[in-house]
Amino acid sequence: MTQNIEHLVSANASPSRRFRLGTTSYIYPDDILPNVRQLAGQVDDIELVLFEVDEHGTNLPNASTITELKALARDYALTYTVHLPIDLDWRDEQSFAKILRALDATRALDPFAYVLHLDGRMVMDEPSPDVIAQWQTETARALDRILAQVAPSQLCIENLERWSPEFFAGIVAQKNLARCIDVGHLWKQAHDPLPHLQAHLAQARVIHIHGINGRDHQSLARQARGEVKRVLDFLAGAEFAGVLTLEIFGVADFLSSKRVIEEWQNDSR
């Protein structure tokens, strides 16, 4: 059963925010379970970043790992968001099957959300209207297969930096899907994220945020503090009660990013 977003606000969240603060399962240089053990109590939600690749194998959790993840969620009032495998060619059946295996492996966790990258190969580099239309048809067909396994309200389509999120706007609306708004990707495109947030926050279950400094997924401390404050002030003013994920990968970046959030909260009191 999909969890009720209104009942997942941390008991210790300050009045300046209703959102649940999260980060990824790759903060410490270790596997998912050791990361969750160390992060429990530091955040409200953990994004389980899943992969299945020839060079590095798979990190899909087995039954015993799921059992412990459920216990940690219960003991620390944690929720999980699941980032499904990325860079997949949906026209390749074996590649597409990786998404279905990830769904099967994590269903028992009752994730707060599943985050999905659409296969955008066709729509990079200024595609023609005909190419966009073909891509939308193929994407809708692929999503129907995924939606046979997960509720539309749990499936969050993420905006990426290499093509326009407007390409999937109609599909999200038609199929009543949720969104994962990646603020860092918008910053990387040199876009002001506030218009996008204003237009789509009602559909957003998850928001990713990370600093940009030559590359993305860096500490929020590397982003101009005024830009970060505008986003956080907007989320607080809109009473966003979903998950805000610090989508970074490393202890130093996590701690400094969390400090930015804490300083904003203190200034907002």
**Contact (CB, 8 A) for 72 and 40:** yes
Integer CA distances (angstroms), 129 to 122, 133, 138, 164, 231, in order: 11, 6, 14, 13, 33
Phi, psi of 207 (to 5 degrees): -130, 130
Q: What's 15-268's CATH class? A: alpha beta
Q: What is the mean pLDDT of the chain?
A: 92
**Contact (CB, 8 A) for 238 and 201:** yes
Cα–Cα distance, 135 to 130 (Å, whole number): 9
Cα–Cα distance, 89 to 122 (Å, whole number): 10
Cα–Cα distance, 181 to 184 (Å, whole number): 9
- DSSP per-residue string spanning the chain: -PPPGGG-S-TT--TT--SEEEEES-SSSS-HHHHHHHHBTTBSEEEEE--EETTTEE----HHHHHHHHHHHHHHT-EEEEE---S--TTSHHHHHHHHHHHHHHGGG--SEEEE----GGG-SS--HHHHHHHHHHHHHHHHHHHTTS-GGGEEEEP-TTS-GGGGHHHHHHTT-EEEEEHHHHHHTT--HHHHHHHHGGGEEEEEE-B-SSSSSB-GGGS-HHHHHHHHHHHHHTT--SEEEE---SHHHHHHHHHHHHHHHHHH-
Domain ranges of the chain: 15-268
For residue 54, the model assigns a pLDDT of 65
Whose structure tokens read 């009032």? 77
**Contact (CB, 8 A) for 74 and 51:** no
Tell me, rounded to whole angstroms, the distance of Cα 216 from its chain centroid: 15
For residue 95, the model assigns a pLDDT of 85
In sequence order, the β-bridge partners of residue 178 are 156
Low-confidence ranges of the chain (pLDDT < 50): 1-15
Determine how β-strand 52-53 pairs with β-strand 57-58.
antiparallel
* Length of the chain in terms of residues written: 269
User: What pLDDT, in 10s, does the model give residues 68-77?
Assistant: 999 999 999 9
**Contact (CB, 8 A) for 204 and 242:** yes
User: What pLDDT, in 10s, does the model give residues 121-152?
Assistant: 999 988 999 999 999 999 999 999 999 999 99
For residue 7, the model assigns a pLDDT of 41
Amino acid, single-letter form, for residue 57:
G
Q: Whole-model pTM? A: 0.92
